[in-house]
Amino acid sequence: MNNNNKKRQPSLFMIILAIFLIFVYVDKDAVTNFYNTIYTSLIPFFYSIVIVYLLNPIIKFCMRNLEKYVPIIKEHTRKIISVVIAYIIFGLFIYFLVINIVPILRDNILEFADHFPEMVNKILLNIEKVAEYFRITKMSEVENTIYSYIEEYLSVDTISALLKSSLPYIYNTSSYILNWLYNIGIAFIISMYLVFETDSVIYYCKKIFRAIFGQRRYNITKLIVKDSYDMFNVYIISKIKDSMIVGILLFILMKIFGLKYSVLLSICVAITNMIPYIGPFIGGILGVVLLLSVSLEQSLIFFVIILVLQQLDCWLIGVIVVEKDTKMSPLLILMSVIVAGALWGWVGMLIGTPIAQIIQYVVNLMVQAEEMKNDYKEADL
């Protein structure tokens, strides 16, 4: 009886898959609209999962310490206290960003908007100084090309036409921001329930998967999911800690040397530093170009600071903070960043490497399983 059920399970799955493919072939637009509706509805749930994922280390840390120092408290009570502490820390972090960081970023953006032509002229002037120092003879042609583009695209008529045509875009962007804030608010509420129901959700998912695919496939999938989660979690947490350390050190050094835009550039470099290989170049080039609008000296100082920090990150900070090496070739890492970035934007560039690492792990398991089968067949012969 059990053998018959095992034989039916793949057939049932193939039937469901075939029915779905037929629906896609017959009415692709209806399936696409249905998918978009479901995806839009589930966005707050995706955000809530991210919130729970970020708060989970704090919750576990608090539960461990409560169990160690206050063992008389029951487990359910420990979890409630830990969740409350985690959300208080999360709320204080958001409050700190809104009160201290956001106004500085807003002032920087307004300054860029007010003095954009002057900043461009200053950047070109400093680039010309560098070109003269290194005796680059064709720099005037590059400068003339940049000025022609500025005159063409930043004239009064062009800007007025752009503003008229961008009104619908501004409206859509405002609607998107309001919708995003609404989803974040809903996600925050959902996460409060999800953090207590996580164990139950995982339990029922395991039960359903075991019932559909059987115990053997369940055991294999459980091992793969556990190892994949550990790889993803270790990579993300390590990268966050590494980037925060680099950003804080950059902020301190920029303050010591009196460099402008210390908060903005520290945040930019910390975020881009999470992208392997190309991320540090993106943050460094952005800072060098931006500080050229202030002075050539500040740009050069920033360039030297970035070089020193990247070497420090490569040989000391990364070695201490990153718990496990990805064991992936640089070419595969770059491909994963580019492909994931093309699919999911800057978020894809951040998570592309751990996803590629998981895919590599699964493929290696499949190859090892096939090799073991071939070895057993050869041994039988």
- Tens of pLDDT, residues 332-366: 888 888 888 888 777 788 888 888 888 888 888 88
- Given a cut of 60, whether residue 68 has pLDDT beyond it is yes
pTM comes to: 0.72
Of 143-147, 194-198, 251-255, the range with the lowest mean pLDDT is 143-147
- Given a cut of 60, whether residue 151 has pLDDT beyond it is no
C-alpha angle 241/244/247, rounded to 5°? 150
**How many Å is the maximal CA-CA distance in the chain?**
85
- Given a cut of 80, whether residue 131 has pLDDT beyond it is no
pLDDT over 70, % of the chain: 76
Report the pLDDT averaged over residues 234-256.
89
In this prediction, residue 253 carries a pLDDT of 92
Backbone angles phi, psi at 275, to 5 degrees: -85, 120
Which has the higher per-residue pLDDT, 34 or 147? Answer: 34
- Find where tokens 């053997």 sit: 216
- Given a cut of 60, whether residue 167 has pLDDT beyond it is no
Alpha helices in the chain (DSSP H): 2-26, 28-69, 75-96, 102-114, 116-133, 139-153, 156-256, 262-272, 278-292, 296-312, 318-321, 330-380
Please give the Cα distance from 304 to 288 (Å, whole number): 10
Asked whether the beta carbons of 269 and 306 are under 8 A apart, the reply is yes
Model confidence band, residue 180 (pLDDT cutoffs 50, 70, 90)? confident
Model confidence band, residue 6 (pLDDT cutoffs 50, 70, 90)? very low
Model confidence band, residue 31 (pLDDT cutoffs 50, 70, 90)? low
Closest CA to 53 of 159, 187, 186, 221: 187
Asked whether the beta carbons of 23 and 51 are under 8 A apart, the reply is no
Asked whether the beta carbons of 356 and 327 are under 8 A apart, the reply is no
- Given a cut of 80, whether residue 29 has pLDDT beyond it is no
pLDDT over 90, % of the chain: 7
In this prediction, residue 361 carries a pLDDT of 86
In this prediction, residue 250 carries a pLDDT of 92
Of 12-26, 310-324, 354-368, the range with the lowest mean pLDDT is 12-26
Mean pLDDT score across all residues of the chain: 78
In this prediction, residue 97 carries a pLDDT of 82
Please give the Cα distance from 243 to 271 (Å, whole number): 7
What are the C-alpha distances in Å from 145 to residues 9, 54, 133, 148, 151? Answer: 66, 47, 21, 5, 10
